[in-house]
């Protein structure tokens, strides 16, 4: 395996550092290797756990041992104690799943930012990266329905990092899951070229902060 293609950017981590509270249990249900968020939680005095549907343990940089193998849509993978779901789910328009079944023998893998290439083999069939890219452009329902299965298991607070074009969709999904949107914070991350409609893409990502009614009343 090579490096994971979509880890938290420094700009997003700076936003998260202002939102994560000491003593809080942070759980990332789409954790990838979990290294960057895990380190941030350690620095802030927060508890960190995570799950990912893929086993990224063979990545060149390794993975955080607190990240377990699991599907975000499965309740069994979530903490039994109150937690804040803090995550960056797959983006609809990123070209990170051009090779969901792994690279071809002739694929030039050097410099390619792609889940299947990073893993070196096929992604799990339930990996929601399979709903992105051209599939997302044709039919968004599998993307939103798949993520809704995860949101229903999220606890009292959620912090979600996504690309700005799908930010409104994520706000609606969280509201449908019983959350109230508290804030949408811009994160001006590095923009990558070579993506679909790159010249039309937004110049920033967002971090959505949402809470459930019970949390707001405490």
Q: Give the span between the Cα atoms of 112 and 124, in whole angstroms.
A: 20
Would you place residue 198 in the very low, low, confident or very high pLDDT band (cuts 50, 70, 90)? very low
pTM given for the model: 0.87
Residue spans per domain, the chain: 10-216
- The 25-28 sheet, strands edge to edge: 67-69, 47-52, 25-28, 84-87, 157-163, 205-212, 179-187
Mean pLDDT, rounded, of the chain: 87
Q: Give the span between the Cα atoms of 204 and 186, in whole angstroms.
A: 6
Find where tokens 């229903």 sit: 152
Lowest mean pLDDT among 147-151, 178-182, 194-198: 194-198
Q: Give the span between the Cα atoms of 114 and 183, in whole angstroms.
A: 30
Give the per-residue pLDDT at 200.
46
* Pair of tokens at residue 197: 């409609």
Average pLDDT over residues 73-93: 94
Q: Tell me the residue ranges of DSSP E strands in 18-173.
A: 25-28, 47-52, 67-69, 84-87, 157-163
Residues facing 183 on adjacent strands: 209
Domain made up of 10-216: CATH architecture:
3-Layer(aba) Sandwich (3.40)
Q: In percent, how much of the chain has pLDDT > 90?
A: 62
Q: Give the span between the Cα atoms of 199 and 176, in whole angstroms.
A: 32
Q: Give the span between the Cα atoms of 31 and 28, in whole angstroms.
A: 5
Could you report the per-residue pLDDT of 26-62, keeping only the tens digit for each?
A: 999 999 999 999 999 999 999 999 999 998 877 767 8
């Amino acid at each position: 395996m090579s490096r994971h293609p979509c880890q938290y950017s420094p700009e997003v981590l700076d936003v998260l550092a202002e939102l994560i509270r000491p003593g809080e249990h942070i759980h990332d249900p789409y954790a990838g290797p979990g290294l960057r968020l895990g380190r941030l939680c350690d620095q802030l005095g927060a508890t960190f756990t995570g799950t990912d549907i893929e086993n990224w343990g063979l990545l060149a940089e390794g993975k955080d041992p607190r990240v377990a193998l699991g599907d975000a849509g499965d309740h069994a993978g979530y903490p039994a104690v109150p937690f804040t779901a803090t995550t960056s789910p797959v983006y609809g328009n990123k070209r990170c799943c051009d090779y969901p079944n792994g690279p071809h023998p002739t694929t030039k893998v050097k410099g390619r930012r792609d889940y299947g290439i990073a893993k070196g083999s096929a992604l799990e069939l339930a990996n929601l990266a399979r709903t992105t890219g051209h599939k997302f452009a044709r039919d968004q329902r599998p993307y939103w329905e798949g993520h809704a299965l995860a949101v229903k298991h999220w606890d009292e607070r959620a912090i979600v990092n996504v690309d700005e074009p799908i930010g409104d969709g994520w706000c609606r999904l969280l509201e449908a899951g019983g959350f109230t949107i508290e804030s949408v914070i811009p994160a001006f991350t590095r923009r990558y070229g070579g993506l679909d409609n790159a010249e039309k893409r937004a110049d920033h990502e967002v971090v959505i902060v949402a809470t459930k009614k019970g949390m707001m009343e405490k």
